Each structure stands twice: as structure tokens, then as C-alpha cells.
Chain A
Amino acid sequence: MNKLGPVITVILAIVAFWYVAAVPMNVQETLTAAERAGVAVTPDNARARSEAGRWSLVFQNLDALGGSWSVDRARLPSPHQVLTEIYNSTWDEEVNGRRGIVNSGSFSNRSLVYHSGVTLGATVLGFLIGAGFGILLAVGIVYSRTMDRSVMPWAIVSQTIPIVALAPMIIVVLYSIGIGGMMPKAVISAYLSFFPVVVGMVKGLRSPDHMQLDLLRTYNASKSQGFWKLRLPASMPYLFTSLKIGIAASLVGAIVGELPVQRGGLGARMLSGSYYGQTEQIWAALFVAAILAALMVAIIGWIEARTLKRMGMAV
């Protein structure tokens, strides 16, 4: 646990910077609220203030900035506001809310627990499709010269198209042929997550050196024996590394897929937050997404550690 100290230091530095940054970011709203409460601010009308620079407003009104960290609909909500929002939209909503799981028996559609579940479902389904497809492609690329030459360039091109541009088209096309619900989002997730798996797996399957391949030739081993006994086990460390990247990409894909659909999910929360100026809601959804990604990467890391240990390759 010797990582704890540095991690906490970095977190404290970020939080400190965040609180400082909230002052100039929210200065307009803070001063307007202060003016309404009867405090004298310079300049004394909102129009003049909107034309003034943030920093000059800060320095002209140093004693009227007390509200910087509690502004409603702040441009940059402060950390404790975001944490409160996360608490309110998870624990409080589910335990005390009328529609929460305690009172209604199902997750509230206003809670981040529910929306995380929606996103998580699409993420995991998309990741499984993407990883499976990626592994198959990698095997094809390693064993077939034709595939090596034809598939890899397309795989690379596929990742150069901005997913934000592509996602609505995928959704429209899939909806029009009757595929709705979780599937279109999962397809976008798969689209983003197959690529790191292909790249990592190709590298891993090609990692055995000449000597090890020659050794199998001296045994007159078949191609499938070479795959199962040498190439596949040798690729495991590479596979897990790319699975970690893949699942994070998969989450991004699911969120992007939720933006145009607006039927729940963290992406939908982020977009509705920005429609209604609910910055705290955006930040809360963002934080929950980050926590989800960290958890999923940690789970894969745990499986990796166990698998490699069983294989005698613990690092």
C-alpha cells in the first residue's frame, strides 16, 4: 500500500486547484447572487460585469466572493457540490426517494444507479462482442497472409473516423432494420473495443521467437498444436493489457451511443444535464463513469493476476 501517499497527494492537489479555479469560473453568477442579497459589488450592473474580465471582477470584489463554492447552476461546481449530487442521486434517491428501490422495489429512473446499470449492460455486451471479434480477427491475421494484408489497414482506418460522427448513423441504420434497445449501443462499444484487442492479440500471437517455432517443427507439430500449446498461452499477457484498454473504450462507446437516443444511461444524463444547465448532474455522471471504468479495469486486472499466477508467469 505504498502507493497510497502519492495518490492522496495528487488528489489533494487536484481538489485544491479545483476550488481555486471555481472562483474565477463562477464569478459572474456569484456576484449576481451577492448583489441580490444586498451586497455592494463593482461594477454594479450585470451587463457591465458580463463585459469585464473574470480576474478583474475577482480582484475588484474580493470580499463578495463567499458564495463561489455554493452557486446554483455553477459553471464549475465545486467538488463538494458534485459529491453531494452523487450522494443525492444514488443513495438518497434509492433509499429515501419515492421511486427508489426501498420504497418501490425497483431502481429509480432518476438515480445514477439505474443509469449506470443501463450503461454497464451495453458496455459489457459490447465489450464481449468486440473482444471476441478482435481475438478472431487477430487469429486470422496471424495465420492468413491475405487477412494480414487486407484486414489490418481497414481496422486502422476504422479507428480514424470520429465515433461521435459515426454513432448516430449506426443507431439510425440499426433502428431502421428493427434492432433497438441495448444492441446499437453495444455495437458502438464493440466498434471501439475490438481494435486494441486486435493489435494486442496479433502482437501476442506473434511473440514466440524463431527458436520456439523451430522447436515445434522438430516435433512435427500441427498448426493447431502450435496455436493451442505455444501461440495462445504466449499471448496471454498481451491479451489482458489490451482487454483493459478495450473495456475502457467500450464504456466510452456506450456513453456516446446514449447521447442521441436519450433512453437512459450515463450519456443521457450528461446530455440532459447540459440541456438544462445542470452542471452538477453532468459532473456527477462523469465521475460515476470514471469510477465504473476504474472498477472494470480493476476486475480485468484481478483476473489477469490470477490467470498469470496460475500459469506461473506472475510478474
Chain B
Amino acid sequence: MSVIEAKGLNLTFQTNDGPVHALKDVNLTIEKGDFVSFIGPSGCGKTTFLRCVAGLEHPTGGTLSVNGMTPDEARKARAYGYVFQAAGLYPWRTIGRNIALPLEIMGYSKSEQAERVKRVLDLVELTGFEKKFPWQLSGGMQQRASIARALAFDADILLMDEPFGALDEIVRDRLNEEVLKLWNNTGKTIGFVTHSIPEAVYLSTKIVVMSPRPGRITDVIESTLPRERPLDIRDSAEFIAIAHRVRDGLRAGHMDE
């Protein structure tokens, strides 16, 4: 069953310097349980596409459906959790209360809030940090808390916009492993924006390679890697072959200019 379906999607921003073609003729189908990475240089529209799926931007042409609804309807039905580039935790709320924020807004009962906060903290391995304030946590832990916040309610889609872009590589490797584990445990459909080739190949079942001006899809790679992925899978020939194909796709996008 397809969860996200884009057909001939176009988005043009009107700016003072004239129109900017952020997305051009994007066709993409994402199945339930897929882990889809969007990779490409900045300005290729990968974040814009994710924001369109979230109903935060509105396409100027084509059709886009999320869970069989329009993106706005899906947003109102709280169909997805969104993780931004920065953790964006409220400094005046403890980690636990930050994670409870969407639950408060959606009207969950106090006891259910407490129970869910505990569960997702456990899921992102932050048990015991519930009463801490954000500034008392490292950047990686803050980003984990923001993932927990997106998981706290029952959205079966998780949209992540370069969530680990600002973190160092060691922390990033660990969080990549955790995200994979999380995906395995929850069966969610994940859309993941990145500009790291190893990250994209390591995480995804499907890699969408994009190129800029106008933002478009140049290649869609179905990963042949197994679902169980230890970190050292990145030294396997299969991994390197996929990474190679991604790199070729990125280069081809650049040659067009």
C-alpha cells in the first residue's frame, strides 16, 4: 500500500529575484514501512519535498497524497511526526514535558501522557533524563529527545529533515544505528533528508537522488541490503556498490548544469 504518492509535483517560489523552481515534475511512490532517504546538494528541493508532504509548503502543480489524503488533511489528522534540523526543544520545559507537548496539544490524558513519555524515552535511550532541562543535555541527546517527541503520538509516518546534520560523526553513527533499530521496532514509514552518502545508504530501503535548479529527482535506488544492518555492513561490497551509484547520480545531476 502506498503511503505517500507524488505525481508531476511542481513548486515555484515567487521571490524578488524572479521565480525559483524548487521542485519540477517530481514523481515518487513511498510504500508503507519504507525507509526513504532524500539526498542531494543544497537547493535540490529535498527539504522542500518533505515540507510539502508535511503540508508546510503547498505545491503549485501536480498531486500529492499522504495516507490517501491531501497533505493538509493528513497534517490535521496528525498523520506524521516531524523532526527538524535543530532539536528545537523549549528551554522552559523539562525533557519529559517537551515530549509531552504534542500529547498536551492533542488532548491526551495526564496518565496517558506520563505513560507515553516513559515509553518513548525508553525507545531513544533517554530514560532517567525526564526531569532535566534541555541545556543540561548534549546536542545528540537533545536531538534524540526531539525524535522521542515526534514518536510520542501515534503517527505511522516519521519525517526527518537532516536531523543529525549538526552532530559529529561519532554521535551520528550511534544515532543512525538507533534510528534503524527504532524503525525495525515500530514499523513506521520514514522520510529522511540528508546530504551524507554513507548515512543514506546505511539507513534506507530506497534512496532518492535529487539535483538542483530546478529541484528534481535524478535517480531512485532500491537498496538490496538486508533489514538487519550492523555498522560494519558499510565495508561490504554491496554497500560500496550502492554508495557508488548514489555518487554517480549526484554527479550526473551536476553535469546537467
Let me know if B105 and A233 touch, CB within 8 A.
no
Binds A, one of B74-82, B120-128, B175-183, B248-256: B74-82
Asked if A214 and B56 sit within 8 Å, CB to CB, the answer is: yes
Task: Tell me if B129 is interfacial: C-beta within 8 Å of chain A.
Answer: no
- CB pair A313–B76 under 8 Å, yes or no, is no
Interface string of A108-150 (1 = CB under 8 A from B): 0000000000000000000000000000000000000000000
Would B104 and A229 count as touching, CB distance under 8 A?
A: yes
Chain B residues near A225 (CB-CB < 8 A): 105
Q: Is B61 an interface residue (CB 8 A)?
A: no
CB <8 Å contact, B106 and A219: yes
A–B Cβ pairs within 8 angstroms, 13 of them: A212-B88, A214-B84, A215-B88, A219-B105, A219-B106, A220-B78, A225-B105, A229-B101, A230-B90, A233-B92, A311-B91, A311-B92, A312-B133
Residues of chain A contacted by B78 (CB below 8 angstroms): 219-220
- The answer on a CB contact under 8 Å between A313 and B105 is no
**In the docked arrangement, what's the CA distance between A234 and B86, Å?**
17
Is B93 at the interface (CB under 8 A from chain A)? Answer: yes
Q: In chain A between 223 and 250, which residues have their CB closer than 8 angstroms to a CB of chain B?
A: 225, 229-230, 233-234, 236
Verify if B193 is at the interface (C-beta below 8 Å from A).
no
A contacts with B: majority SS: helix
CB of B94 within 8 Å of the partner chain: yes
Chain A contacts for B76, CB-based, 8 A: 220
Interface flags for A176-205 (1: CB within 8 Å of B; 0: not) read 000000000000000000000000000000
Instruction: Provide the residues of chain B in CB contact with A215, threshold 8 Å.
Output: 82, 84, 88
Q: Measured between alpha carbons, how far is A212 from B106 in the docked complex, in Å? A: 17
> Does residue B140 face the partner (Cβ distance < 8 Å to A)?
no
B54 within 8 A of A: yes
**With an 8 A cutoff between CB atoms, is B102 at the interface?**
yes
Interface residues of B (CB under 8 A from A): 54-56, 75-76, 78, 80-82, 84-86, 88, 90-94, 101-102, 104-106, 133-135
Complex partner residue of A312 from B55, B85, B92, B101, CB under 8 angstroms: B92
Please judge, given known A-B contacts A215-B84, A229-B104, whether A220 and B90 are in contact too, CB under 8 Å: no
Given A216-B105, A218-B81, A225-B105, check contact A211 B92 (CB 8 Å).
Answer: no
Query: Given A214-B56, A215-B82, A219-B106: A233 and B90 within 8 A (CB)?
Result: yes
Give Cα A241 to B86, complex, Å.
Answer: 27
The residue that A211 contacts in the complex, of B75, B81, B88, B105, with Cβ under 8 A, is: B88
Asked if A73 is at the interface (CB within 8 A of a chain B CB), the reply is: no
A100 → chain B closest CB, angstroms: 48
Chain B residue with Cβ nearest A218: B82
Assess whether A312 is in contact with B88, with CB atoms less than 8 Å apart: no
Contacts of A212 in B (CB 8 A): 88, 90
In order of increasing CB-CB distance, the 5 nearest A-B pairs are A312-B133, A311-B92, A218-B82, A221-B105, A219-B105
